[in-house]
Structure 1
Amino acid sequence: MVNGKEKLIVAIDTDDYEKAVNLIDSLEDSVDIFKVGLENYIASRGKTVDYLKSKGKKIFLDLKFHDIPNTMKSAVKAAIREGVWLMTIHVSDMEGMKQCANIAKEESERLGIEKPLIVGVTVLTSLSDNDLKDIGCDMNTQDLAIKRAKLAKEAGLDGVVCSAREVSKIVEACGKDFVTVCPGIRPASAEVGDQKRVVTPSEAILNGASVLVVGRPITQASVPSESANKIVKEIESVL
């Protein structure tokens, strides 16, 4: 039986380092993988990453690099030295993504460490079809996510970040070994918040998601560990 903890990533979305530490401590026995995004990374100046490493936790560094190829390549190279398990870049031009994939292999080999997974952000889960129209895109969220996933795979990335609503189509197009990281996960009883394309944990796993990213339903719960344990059990119930 697969351990549901291997499928759950908890997002540490706070600009307060002490709150982040307290949250990690409260979830130490319930969660193995944590996401550090822009908000916390900048506010803590990377200290949360160091704290997670001291606890032996896997780290998802979610900084969504998006720039010219050389800058993205250099950012990925620097992130490799942080010893993270997973990192994000935006699905952009083919050359930029290829350079990121190549430098990850080269730098990991040079350091003698396991290469972290690099996944491309397809379409943010806060965006709707109408939002895409507003910025001049004539594709819907699902079609655009699938197209970008195919580009990411062709460029040599390990997988993508996508909504669990389109993950089954992406698995069909890119294969089961292509990692799918799904944010916007909300238990049926949770508030949707600013997310627009949300799915429950069990639905996401059944759709083919590799790992789930859950934030507020766990981090803002009165007892975060209880909420995390419930989600782990829900994941395991459909594996």
Structure 2
Amino acid sequence: MEKSIFLALDFPTWQETKDFLNFHELYGVPVKVGMELFYREGPKVIESLKANNHPIFLDLKLHDIPTTVMRAMRNLSSLGVDIVNVHALGGSEMIKRAKEGLSGGQFDTKLIAVTVLTSMDTETLNVELMIPGNTEDVAVHFADFAKRNGADGVVCSVHESMQIKEKCGMDFLTVTPGIRLEDSSRDDQKRIASPSYAVENGADFLVIGRSVTKAKHPREAYERALKECGVK
């Protein structure tokens, strides 16, 4: 896949999602389908998006015992999405088994591991989760063992992307959420960045949501994001 910006489809139903994409003429743009939409609509939402030529990042963040995750990935592999993910916190064996579940299918679905959620900061890691270190060091550590156990890349903050590239190699994918246009609100994200900053710091794929979906003119906002980071 070429570098691109995935539009987060954070809508509760397929009807609302379809109406938004069609009304704003966002035909064939790369999209991220998360838990809210997938758990409501199931695989049919993926089938509908694929029928309309949308590259898809299926953002389910699987996190369970290794065998359960492997079996879930075996089922998800038939959907033909471009990217699917797990939580790195599930550990090395879980990541290895997730990759096993994806392998052998007819599609080249990339497996990525979530490092540290962009809604978290160092205090959350240290105090609530009792994980020592700062967010950058923890994210790089998670990325390193994710790669060693078969992951194709990670979800990380823009601010850790270059460090992860330096540790894991330039071919190791970095998918960066928390992307905001300059005039957008932070909402519930703590570690955010502009599209141009993300690309300058080594991000391969960007995820943008409310800066586009809540914009007065969503198509213009999406095109502005593409222009800012030089993605055609």
Work out the number of aligned pairs and report it. Answer: 230
Give CA-to-partner distance per residue, 1:42-64, whole Å, 9 cap, x none.
Answer: 12234321220110111111000
Match among 204, 218, 222 for residue 228 of structure 1: 222
**In structure 2, which of residues 167, 189, 192 is the aligned counterpart of residue 195 of structure 1?**
189
Question: Pick from 97, 104, 107: which aligns with 2:95?
Answer: 97
Deviations 1:44-88 (A, max 9, x none): 234321220110111111000000000000111111111111101
TM-score of the superposed pair, with normalisation by structure 2: 0.94
CA apart distance, 1:17: 2.3
Q: Percentage identity across aligned positions?
A: 35
**Deviations 1:101-133, CA, capped at 9 Å, x for gaps:** 123222x1xxxx231001000000000111112
Q: Which amino acid aligns with 1:38?
A: M
Instruction: Give 1:157's aligned residue.
Output: 151
Whether the 8 Å contact between 1:30 and 1:225 is mirrored in structure 2 is no
Task: Tell me what 1:179 maps to.
Answer: 173
- Please show how residues 1-239 of structure 1 align to structure 2 within 5 Å: 6-26=3-23, 28-29=25-26, 32-91=29-88, 92-106=90-104, 108=105, 113-133=106-126, 134-236=128-230
Shift of 1:31: 5.3
Long gaps (5+) in structure 1: none
In 1: Cα distance, 2:24 partner to 2:161 partner? 28
Could you tell me how far apart the structure 1 residues matched to 2:76 and 2:20 are? 23
Bigger relative contact order (CA 8 A; separation at least 6): 1
Deviation beyond 4 Å, 4+ runs, structure 1: 27-31
* Residues 30 and 192 of structure 1: CA distance in aligned 2, closer, same or farther (over 3 Å): farther
Q: Distance in 2 between matches of 1:213 and 1:167?
A: 14
Counterpart-to-counterpart distance in 1, 2:133 and 2:23 = 42
The unaligned stretches of length 5 or more in structure 2 are none
